[in-house]
Amino acid sequence: MKPYKNKINRIRSFALSLIFLGVVIMYLGIFFRNNEIIMLIFMVLGMISILGSVVVYAWIGTLSTRAVQIKCPNCGRHTKMLGRVDMCGHCREPLTMDPSLEGKEFDVAYNRPSAKKDSTKK
């Protein structure tokens, strides 16, 4: 089994983990209630984490409108894909929008042809 997952599903689970992280951080803050400053830092960090997940969820919303809904050739269910290559959200079948990549080994790098240029700019 390859480690790649459907991108939208992956971002969604990331947003969900941010909420849990925020709750855990705020919960940890309760243990420091004797020290108001530390407790406040934990609370603020927790809030930032939860707000971050809200931002990520909003981002998923805009991504979903751009995502192409296709029928998976492997399991026959409908899934949304992003970029040139993505995985089916149900069976992890590699999917591609680019006919020239068809039949090739799945590689997430196909989505970022200019990734190296971007990293050198910074």
Compute how many residues bind Zn ion; rule: CB under 5 A.
Answer: 7
Among 50, 90, 97, 106, binds Zn ion (CB under 5 A): 90
Q: Least Å distance between CB 79 and Zn ion?
A: 6
Does 91 participate in binding Zn ion (rule CB under 5 A)? Answer: yes
Nearer of residues 93 and 106 to Zn ion, judged by Cβ: 93
Does 88 participate in binding Zn ion (rule CB under 5 A)? Answer: yes
Nearer of residues 10 and 90 to Zn ion, judged by Cβ: 90
Nearer of residues 67 and 72 to Zn ion, judged by Cβ: 72
DSSP the chain: --S---HHHHHHHHHHHHHHHHHHHHHHHHTTTTSHHHHHHHHHHHHHHHHHHHHHHHHHHHHHHHSEEEE-TTT--EEEE-SSEEE-TTT--EEES-GGGTTSPP-GGGG-TTHHHHHHH-
Residue ranges binding Zn ion (CB under 5 A): 72, 74-75, 88, 90-91, 93
